[in-house]
């Protein structure tokens, strides 16, 4: 039997513990030591911790965004050109601190706007008041952004959250089940763009995501299209991105101090 993994983990653990800070988050260390392949550095341990917890990263990123608040004079707009930082499509989450006009610069997260501390952490565990001037993302916000922009990549964990039951029919989820936004993103752009920025992010996060079987998804999309068509007939001046608003239910607070 090969001993490669044991030897590799012994070296990685020794390297990790050699440089381990006394204030390194204990939850991250416990996670790292439970992995089949132990991360050899503190930064890789932090990245692994959040990568395995996309739902927690989503909640934390939205809580940090609420702490930063919406910049004065900002509104959700679309644009083109990387120099402006404006999203090209309403399917990309609004991110004012990624825009050139509102960016806070190195040492601040371009997603939530809060300071970035050592190892990409979101609070100053080391109590030295010094943001990491080489960083522009929190480790958690990296994972949250990936979760918002590519939710199908997190199908497995979303299925587990629903106990493998279809969100619309209550039946067991099949292999062909798909991730769906309860409130379609075109409806968010058409009807909710005036809402505060931190509230808008929930439409890309877990509160607005569900896993449903493919047949139910097709029926939902067909129903939405038929309803929009009927409403356009009744009101020809109505925007094409019209849809009923569905309230979000996200009442679970998350501590952002550690």
The yes-or-no verdict on residue 118 having pLDDT over 60 is: yes
- The stretch 85-112 carries a mean pLDDT of 92
What is the structure's pLDDT at 243?
A: 39
- Element housing 94 (H / E): none
- The stretch 94-103 carries a mean pLDDT of 93
- The stretch 80-107 carries a mean pLDDT of 88
Of 172, 134, 148, 118, the closest CA to residue 54 belongs to 148
Q: How far apart are CA 97 and CA 100, in angstroms?
A: 8
Q: Which residues contact 203 (CB under 8 A, 6 or more apart)?
A: 181, 183, 185, 188, 192, 248
Q: Are 190 and 232 in contact (CB under 8 A)?
A: no
Q: How far apart are CA 211 and CA 214, in angstroms?
A: 9
CA distances from 189 to 89, 134, 185, 186 (A): 10, 34, 6, 5
Read off φ and ψ for residue 115, nearest 5 degrees: -60, 145
Q: Which residues contact 73 (CB under 8 A, 6 or more apart)?
A: none
Q: Where are the domains of the chain?
A: 1-52, 150-233
What is the structure's pLDDT at 131?
A: 93
| Residue 209 DSSP SS3 | strand
pTM (predicted TM-score): 0.88
Task: Give pLDDT tens digits for 205-250.
Answer: 999 999 999 999 999 889 888 877 777 787 766 555 443 344 555 5
What is the structure's pLDDT at 248?
A: 56
- Confidence category of residue 186, pLDDT binned at 50, 70, 90: confident
- The stretch 124-148 carries a mean pLDDT of 94
The yes-or-no verdict on residue 137 having pLDDT over 70 is: yes
- Confidence category of residue 143, pLDDT binned at 50, 70, 90: very high
- Confidence category of residue 254, pLDDT binned at 50, 70, 90: low
Residue burial 200-237, b: 16+ Cβ < 10 Å; e: rest: bbbbbbbbbbbbbbeebbeebeeebeeebeeeeeeeee
- The stretch 41-48 carries a mean pLDDT of 96
**Torsion, CA 102, CA 115, CA 151, CA 206, rounded to 10:** -100
What is the structure's pLDDT at 250?
A: 53
* pLDDT, averaged across the chain: 89
Range list of β-strands (E), the chain: 178-181, 209-212
Task: Give pLDDT tens digits for 67-83.
Answer: 999 999 999 998 876 77
Least confident of 114-123, 148-157, 184-193: 184-193
By CB atoms closer than 10 A (0-12, 13-18, 19+), residue 154 is buried
- Confidence category of residue 252, pLDDT binned at 50, 70, 90: low
């Amino acid at each position: 039997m090969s001993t490669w993994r044991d030897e590799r983990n012994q070296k990685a653990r020794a390297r990790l513990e050699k440089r381990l800070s006394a204030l390194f988050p204990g939850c991250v260390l416990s996670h790292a030591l439970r992995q089949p392949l132990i991360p050899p550095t503190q930064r890789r341990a932090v990245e692994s911790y959040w990568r395995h917890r996309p739902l927690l990263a989503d909640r934390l990123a939205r809580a940090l965004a609420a702490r930063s608040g919406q910049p004065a004079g900002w509104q959700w707009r679309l644009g083109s050109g990387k120099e402006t930082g404006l999203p090209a499509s309403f399917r990309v989450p609004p991110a004012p601190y990624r825009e050139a006009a509102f960016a806070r610069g190195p040492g601040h997260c371009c997603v939530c706007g809060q300071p970035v501390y050592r190892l990409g952490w979101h609070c100053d565990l080391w109590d030295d008041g010094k943001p990491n001037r080489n960083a522009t993302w929190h480790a958690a916000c990296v994972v949250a952004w990936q979760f918002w922009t590519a939710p199908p990549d997190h199908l497995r964990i979303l299925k587990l959250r629903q106990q493998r039951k279809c969100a619309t029919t209550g039946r067991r989820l099949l292999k062909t089940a798909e991730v769906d936004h309860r409130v379609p993103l075109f409806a968010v752009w058409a009807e909710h763009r005036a809402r505060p920025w931190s509230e808008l992010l929930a439409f890309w996060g877990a509160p607005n995501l569900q896993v449903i079987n493919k047949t139910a998804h097709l029926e939902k999309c067909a129903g939405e299209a038929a309803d929009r068509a009927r409403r356009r007939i009744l009101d020809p001046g109505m925007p094409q991105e019209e849809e009923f608003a569905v309230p979000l239910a996200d009442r679970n607070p998350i501590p952002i101090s550690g």
